[in-house]
Amino acid sequence: MPQARPIVPRTVEQLRELTTAIGRGDAPVTLGAKAHAVLAKLVARPEDVAFRNITELAETLGVNPSTLTRLATRLGYTGFAEFQGVFRDNLSQNSRHFYTRQAHRLIDPVETRPPSNELSVVVQLAQESINNVEGFLSQLVEEDLLGATHLLAHARRVRIHGLRQIHSLASFLTYGLGMIRADVSLLDGPGLGVAEGLAQLEPGDVLVVSSVAPYTRSVAEVAHAAAQAGIEVIALTDTRASPLVAPARHAFFIPHESSFISNSMGAYLVFCECLLNLVARELGEDALQALERRERFIGQLGIEVG
């Protein structure tokens, strides 16, 4: 008896769910690492997929057009045109966002030529951060937001882990959560090492991990080890092809494309601020009491001036 043909996604959201499932090994179709990475980039930028032709899109991704055609047929579409039609249908339902993005391309000179002076450099970086914020907003799933908020508010312990440039983001999130609840710290602080930090956690505790391409191998290994131990993993990463997705109960996808000399952290900080506000709202009166207690100590110790 012939095997039933897998259901072909007909919305961008279904394609995103399939991309995540492929990374976790739970999908009826498999892709190689390169093809999976390409698909993850495509579902993160639906406007570009709908707006560009196959040659332009392939050039922006650094692949051959034939790669996109093979990807589309591998997913069950008759060809790239049918695959692209899913993204165009999505835009017809979200035309306001699409035309806003196109207007930016037409009226913003920094998107059509290299910056010519110091102000243009600042404007370009700021606009790129705005685009990255729009990118994560378009990919948010309310169920994941609710689930992550509940875990961060009510888990007995929360640890946060990120290395290299992401260490600054981990420190920011640790500080913010520590303002409104107890038992929050960096996984390896103060200099204990990640193995010792994981050993302090129990099933049901939460580990927030973050890494973006090029991914830090040890962060992915820590995330997998934590998930296997029953620790709830929340991932802040860039695409659905990230190695942090498979072990995560909740994953959030935040673009970092920009002309910054390294990975742009602007959208990541904005997302963390949003997450902190949601946790504070979930905690309610408990968050207010934690903040008041903190402020009393600040006053008693004379930490602030003015």
303 assigned to some structural domain: no
Give the residue, 264 or 152, on which the prediction is more confident.
152
Distances (CA, A) of 170 to 186, 210, 250: 7, 8, 17
Q: Is residue 268 scored above 90 in pLDDT?
A: yes
Beta bridge partners of 93: none
234 assigned to some structural domain: yes
Distances (CA, A) of 250 to 45, 197, 209, 238: 20, 21, 11, 13
Q: Is residue 16 scored above 50 in pLDDT?
A: yes
Q: What integer best gives the mean pLDDT of the chain? A: 88
55 assigned to some structural domain: yes
183 assigned to some structural domain: yes
147/206 same-domain check: yes
**Mean predicted confidence (pLDDT) in 140-155:** 96
Q: Is residue 129 scored above 60 in pLDDT?
A: yes
How do residues 178-222 score in pLDDT, each as one tens digit? 999 999 999 987 777 899 999 999 999 999 999 998 899 999 999
CATH code for position 25: 1.10.10.10
Tell me which of 33, 62, 92 is where a domain ends.
Answer: 92
Q: Exposure string (b/e) for 8-24, b if CB count within 10 Å is 16 or more?
A: bbeebeebbbbbbebbe
Whole-number pLDDT of residue 305? 75
7 assigned to some structural domain: no
203/78 same-domain check: no
155/274 same-domain check: yes
Q: What is the per-residue DSSP string for 227-275?
A: HHTT-EEEEEES-TTSTTTTT-SEEEE----SSSSS---HHHHHHHHHH
**Mean predicted confidence (pLDDT) in 85-90:** 88
**Mean predicted confidence (pLDDT) in 148-152:** 97
83/157 same-domain check: no
Q: Is residue 17 scored above 70 in pLDDT?
A: yes
Whole-number pLDDT of residue 82? 94
C-alpha 144 chain-centroid distance: 12
pLDDT level of residue 92 (50, 70, 90 thresholds):
low
149 assigned to some structural domain: yes
Which structural domain range is residue 68 located in?
A: 12-92
Whole-number pLDDT of residue 298? 82
154/85 same-domain check: no
CATH code for position 292: 3.40.50.10490
Q: Is residue 232 scored above 50 in pLDDT?
A: yes
Distances (CA, A) of 77 to 15, 45, 70: 12, 19, 10
Among 46-60, 80-94, 243-257, which stretch is predicted with the lowest mean pLDDT?
A: 80-94
285/184 same-domain check: yes
205/289 same-domain check: yes
192/272 same-domain check: yes
170/267 same-domain check: yes
How do residues 161-187 score in pLDDT, each as one tens digit? 999 999 999 999 999 999 999 999 999
User: Does the CA dihedral 30-84-258-67 come out positive or negative?
Assistant: positive
Q: Is residue 77 scored above 90 in pLDDT?
A: yes
How many Å apart are CA 199 and CA 187, to the nearest integer? 10
How do residues 31-40 score in pLDDT, each as one tens digit? 999 999 999 9
CB of 180 within 8 A of CB of 229?
no
pLDDT level of residue 293 (50, 70, 90 thresholds):
confident
27/148 same-domain check: no
Whole-number pLDDT of residue 267? 94
**Mean predicted confidence (pLDDT) in 60-87:** 93
Residue where the block lists tokens 């997913």: 75
Whole-number pLDDT of residue 306? 66
279/172 same-domain check: yes
CB count in 10 Å sphere of residue 291: 13
175/293 same-domain check: yes
Whole-number pLDDT of residue 192? 76
How many domains are contained in the chain? 2
Whole-number pLDDT of residue 2? 46
Q: Is residue 109 scored above 50 in pLDDT?
A: no
195 assigned to some structural domain: yes
Q: Is residue 263 scored above 80 in pLDDT?
A: yes
105 assigned to some structural domain: no
Tell me which of 29, 60, 92 is where a domain ends.
Answer: 92
Tell me which of 92, 108, 131 is where a domain ends.
Answer: 92
Q: What is the per-residue DSSP string for 2-63?
A: PPPPPPPP-SHHHHHHHHHHHHHT-SSS---HHHHHHHHHHHH-HHHHHHS-HHHHHHHHTS
